[in-house]
Amino acid sequence: MKALVTGGAGFIGSNLVDRLVSLNHEVVVVDNLLTGSRENLNPKAKFYESDITNFSEMEKIFECEKPKYVFHLAAGYLVQSLDNPQRDASTNVIGTINLALLCLKSKVDKIIYSNSGGASYGEPQSLPLTEEHPINPLTPYGISKHTAEHYLYMYQKNHGLNYTSLRYANIYGPRQNPKLEGGVISIFIDSLLKAKSPSIFGDGKQTRDYCYVDDVVDANLLAMEKGNCTAYHVATGVEISVLDLFSKVSKIMGLSIPPIYKPSRVGDCRRAVFDITKIKNELGWEPKTSLEEGILKTLNWQKSK
């Protein structure tokens, strides 16, 4: 089986590529290396340094490679979207439209889309969040990521495009870049390893749902054959505050360095935790990695780097 992975040099994408390669699948990676890294590339995967917003380049890749499955992980990121919503919309919306059109033209079996649960819903009206919760994003990133899901739905209804949308909680693990804003666990570990006080935005009592990257890869693989034309949360269903998370990371590392408090960031909701009943029942997926185990694995990887 041949799979094309957009964003395959990035954090989640490269972990997915490694698993696909280990399962003896033929893998093609497309990444513009804006946030991805050559160090993450699997040598057994074919690599194209290209941008999903370039339709003509992507068309040539699809014509040459003829993938059976497309895993779409290439995306902008939240802080960049606040500063440059135009580029964010181009990447997340135009890029996804290009892929949808090429999947239809190339008769791809399925596109598995990595969406953001955390950024899509905005301030929750009820918890835990279900897939039916109203969508009221508070950031350009959340808007663009969810808009792309509507395009997939439209192309499915009108033209038969097969897809699954996976709406991620806060994902963490090896290869997450602490220099980007999204990975608070990797940021905490990086700061503490350097004996520096990490920043906490707001009072630290805001809550999130943290899911380990290997479990996310499992969900992507299950979505190849199950869960057609619908969306699922990929999360743990466990809510923890940023302060409690920092305490947990500090305890595992055996360090006691106080954080620095900074003003709350634009677009940050107060609480987020996800209902994972649907993905359990329909895909047979559930997280296997405890938060403590995942933090330790992430710590060991960051130490090795």
146 phi and psi, to 5 degrees?
-75, -35
The tokens for 270 are 């107060």
**Which residue from 5, 10, 4 is spatially nearest to 213, judged by alpha carbons?**
10
The tokens for 26 are 């033929």
Structure-token match 């919309």, residue found: 89
Choosing from 69, 77, 141, 163, the catalytic residue is 141
Sequence-ordered list of residues with C-beta below 8 angstroms from that of 134, at least 6 positions apart, any chain: 121, 125
Catalytic site includes residue 77: no
> HSE of 60 in the Cβ direction (CA atoms, 13 Å)?
7
52 phi and psi, to 5 degrees?
-65, -15
> HSE of 227 in the Cβ direction (CA atoms, 13 Å)?
26
- Helix 95-105 and helix 55-65: axis angle, to 10°? 30
Structure-token match 């050559």, residue found: 38
| Rounded-to-5 percentages of helix, strand, coil across the chain | 45, 20, 40
Asked if 168 and 115 touch (Cβ cutoff 8 Å), the reply is: yes
Catalytic positions are 141
